[in-house]
A and B are shown apart, each in its own frame.
Chain A
Amino acid sequence: MNAHRASQRVAVSILAAATFLCLAIVAFVIGFVLEKGLPQLSWEFLFTKPRDMGKAGGILPAIVGTLALSLMAIAVALPLGVGTAVYLAEYTRETRVTKVIRFGTDCLAGIPSIIFGLFGYIFFVTTLKMGWSLIAGALTLAIMVLPTLIRTSEEAIRSVPQSWREVSMSLGATRWETVRKVVLPNALPGIVTGVMLSFGRSIGETAAVIFTAGSSFRLPKSAFDSARTLAVHFYILAREGISTDKAYGTAAVLVIAVLAVNGLTYALMGGFMKRKAR
């Protein structure tokens, strides 16, 4: 018996050590970037254009490019994602068609971003002659984040109590009226969670973006202009050794953005869970 207790103690200690190592890694990654990067941040860095290939100046075009690209991608993917989720959760039962759709969604989720980059380049940039542009990058990203949006939206829709649908239908609402008036408003927090996750993914994506949106320094004037996102800018600064300081600064901005998005998502999900528990 004592031997069993001792082996339990050893095993649990090892597991605990592994857990704390994981947490230490998280703390180190975030701490390291912020420690090196925060001193680089200033109004000038955030709100001026880069000079001298990025050796000096700021990252304004990259911030604008990142926001424009992410928002465009979500604007395209959101209706598709929510529409698919509504179809899967409300308009059909499990059939061969839904199996195919679910399988397609899973596959899409697993495709590495470099493949999306290749595809976006050959399809949007070359075949559809969009060139390196925000629009080509956004469409590529939209396909990438679609599975996340579908999954989170479907989960949110399924968490709406069945009885509310029955009541709505018993009062003479059509399926679609029920979806619009009862289901979607109450699935909203979950759908927003999906949007935030997609937003986070778009901000950090590099491989798919660099081949589709390009890496122009200039402030994009329209959806057909090439643009450089923060992640791409950071990659070029770091990889080509242009400026380690500016790279750290950009990394800090990226990490802060990710922290903000995750924090917001977590707060939203917390509220959502509380509501569900009621």
Chain B
Amino acid sequence: MKASSDAFVRRLLLAVACTTVLCLLVIAAFIFKEGLPFLLKVGPGNFLFSSDWRPDSGHYGILPMLVSSLYVTFGALLVGAPLGIAGAIFLSEFGPPALARVAKPAIELLAGIPSVVFGFIGVMVLAPIIRGAAGGPGLSILAASLVLGVMILPTIMSISIDALAAVPQSYREGALALGATKWQAVRMVVVKAAGSGLLAGTILGMGRAVGETMAVIMVAGNAVRMPRSVLDSGRTLTANIALEMGYATGMHRQALFATGIVLFVFIMILNGLASSALKRRAGKR
């Protein structure tokens, strides 16, 4: 009697557990259903590698957006990865534990702050500074990179701290016993051992940067043009979707969903890379 009711609960919970997978499949299905026919009709080559985006006259080339997205993402990584990893190394290896106890939640707080708030600060503070110091419109790829770099800090930092914490204490002791300074031990042994974890954190941070929308819309300028320098205005893939979704219909809307497919595939590749990096770390131990 009891055992059969337990079996019922098991089946019920299995069904519940499958909802995540189901959600993922439905999301993929609907995005692809809306965007794929368009993609096939226009041709992936034309879609991805033409830089002519004029939906009202039937030109759908997202190359400028693709390039802007890449610029912004790598710019964000240049800002966020060194800062995040350096901060993680300092907090876990050199700084006093009391500092780590305060600093870790403080930086994780950044992850909680709404992206629109970051965007707004970018507009009010960063853009005028860039305009004044380097010229250009201010609202630019550079501004977006800086804002996103700060936004991905908590992701990179907290995964890096976990990766460093997972390095066995004996590695450090072994290196120190051979006469290495603490910095040598950290640089040559600890960072190397935590390498794939640091990489995974960076890749996940990259995923966040690629996918971020609202902050980028506010600070990147959104011009549909091939950016020539980091001081130029640019429009990312995500911004393109969010800006035009409100009024797009027909082919135009399908084109936005097709942009979503590009984004979706890109993110899945990044996630796969990150999880294989994390697995490599788990396997090594």
Contacts and interface: CB of A to CB of B under 8 A. Distances in A.
Interface of A: 4-5, 7-8, 11-12, 14-16, 18-19, 21-23, 25-26, 29-30, 32-33, 79-80, 83-84, 86-88, 91-92, 97, 100-101, 103-108, 110-119, 121-123, 127, 143, 146-147, 150, 174-176, 200-201, 203-207, 210-211, 231, 234-235, 238-239, 244, 247, 251, 254-255, 258-259, 261-262, 266
A270 to B, nearest CB: 10
* Most B C-beta atoms less than 10 A away, residue of A104, A123, A244: A104
A26 B84 CA distance: 13
Contact of B218 (A22, A123, A231, A239): A239
Contacts of A123: 26-27, 30
Contacts, number: 246
A85 B107 CA distance: 28
Nearest to A36: B124
Nearest to A197: B112
Contacts of B26: 119, 123
B21 A101 contact: yes
Nearest to A261: B112
B152 to A, nearest CB: 12
Given A19-B91, A26-B106, A84-B20, 16 more contacts: A8-B183, A16-B95, A18-B83, A22-B84, A25-B153, A29-B113, A29-B118, A33-B121, A97-B14, A108-B24, A110-B207, A110-B270, A113-B211, A114-B211, A119-B31, A176-B5
A112 B148 CA distance: 14
A123 B157 CA distance: 35
A185 to B, nearest CB: 17
A15 B121 contact: no
Nearest to A88: B17
Given A19-B90, A106-B271, A87 B245 contact: no
B133 interface: no
B34 A114 contact: no
B210 A112 contact: yes
Nearest to B34: A122
B20 A146 contact: yes
A104 B118 CA distance: 30
A26 B110 contact: yes
B18 A101 contact: yes
Contact of B113 (A12, A92, A108, A258): A258
Number of chain B interface residues as a range: 35 or more
Contacts of A30: 109, 113
A8 B16 contact: no
Contacts of B241: 114, 118
Contacts of A247: 120
Contact of B23 (A87, A108, A110): A108
Interface of chain A: mostly helix, strand, loop or mixed: helix
Contacts of A112: 207, 210-213, 238, 263, 267
B46 interface: no
B19 interface: yes
B116 interface: yes
Nearest to A9: B183
Contacts of A108: 20, 23-24, 27
A213 to B, nearest CB: 14
A204 B115 contact: yes
A121 B256 CA distance: 13
A3 to B, nearest CB: 10
Contact of A83 (B16, B83, B115, B116): B16
Nearest to A258: B112
Contact of B115 (A32, A86, A206, A211): A206
Contacts of A116: 27
Given A22-B153, A175-B6, A111 B109 contact: no
A19 B103 contact: yes
B50 interface: no
Q: Which 9 A-B pairs have the closest CB atoms?
A: A112-B211, A204-B114, A18-B86, A83-B16, A8-B183, A104-B21, A15-B90, A87-B13, A87-B17
Nearest to B19: A80
B18 A206 contact: no
A155 B275 CA distance: 18
Contacts of A104: 20-21, 23-24
A117 B107 CA distance: 27
28 contacts: A8-B184, A19-B103, A25-B110, A33-B117, A84-B19, A87-B17, A101-B18, A104-B23, A110-B270, A114-B238, A114-B242, A114-B260, A115-B264, A118-B34, A119-B26, A122-B31, A122-B257, A174-B6, A176-B5, A176-B9, A204-B116, A206-B114, A235-B116, A235-B214, A235-B218, A239-B218, A244-B124, A255-B113
B173 interface: no
Contact of B263 (A11, A105, A114): A114
Nearest to B212: A112
Contact of A110 (B19, B157, B204): B204
B150 interface: yes
Contact of B109 (A26, A127, A235): A26
A211 B245 contact: yes
A100 B21 contact: yes
